[in-house]
Amino acid sequence: MIKDHQDAFGHLIMDYHLGKRPREVIERDDGYIDTSYGPDGYFQEYDNWSEGSKEALKLAKGRILDVGCGAGRVALHFQNAGYDIVGIDNSPLAVEVCKQRGVKDVRLMSVTQVSRRLGPFDTIVMCGNNLALLGSRQRAKWLLRRFYSITSKDGIIIGQILDPHQTTSIHHLRYHDFNTKRGRMPGQVRIRVRHQNYKSPWFDYLFLSKDELRGVIAGTGWTARQFIDQEVAGDSGISGVYWAILCKGNGH
């Protein structure tokens, strides 16, 4: 598990929780650095969620696993609505923020540590682009099969992700070429979070177009049942964000 000096994300949201207004800094392995307007989104109340988020998450059912729960906004929403929901995050301070905000069941755990000891679940939610935690083509297939094993026969995955190809940014397009030349998928980004003197370990996000996602999930037992396009705020250079609703086999 990550150490305190590596918990940049946790310190970021803890500072926000304590009333400060930091900005989130993301560093990519080609040297590209970007900032967000701050961690407000990790604390956003349901009324301020986008229409795409509301439409996707209303499909959640039964017992829910919230992967990468951050500051607990999704877990708190479902918990307050009477659902049995378990939040997991690999950031110790994120888990602490969730507890302080009232999340009843939150565990310090990486997505790769998910197992049947947690299950079974009826819904897995991966918000805030966390469907990209699939990481790589190989890891995605391994992880999706694991998700299959811990979900009920009509279980679903509700995940948000961005389409890396929906961009005009020369910096992102060059990175796609950089990835392709080293045998990676174009949207497989290696990044880390930075905050003050804290630096997270490098980790991979796998951003996918809808067609690429269909290819990645092939053979895992999951099928893309529905896509919900998400409006994009800000000026990130990326315009294609969507929700994927995955179900088992050919279920509806």
pTM assigned to the model: 0.95
Neighbouring-strand partners of residue 126: 159
Q: Which long-range contacts (CB under 8 A, 24 or more apart) does 15-21 make?
A: 15/195, 16/40, 16/42, 16/43, 16/71, 17/43, 17/71, 17/97, 17/100, 17/101
Q: How far is CA 156 from the centre of its chain?
A: 15
Asked if residue 236 has pLDDT above 90, the reply is no
Residues 6+ apart with CB under 8 A from 77: 46, 57
In the CATH hierarchy, which fold is given to the domain comprising 50-190+202-248? Answer: Rossmann fold (3.40.50)
Residues 157-201 have pLDDT tens digits of: 999 999 999 999 999 999 999 999 999 999 999 999 999 999 999
Q: Where along the chain do its domains lie?
A: 50-190+202-248
Tell me how far apart the alpha carbons of residues 159 and 230 are, in angstroms, rounded to a whole number. 12
pLDDT value of residue 239: 65
- pLDDT at residue 252, rounded to an integer: 43
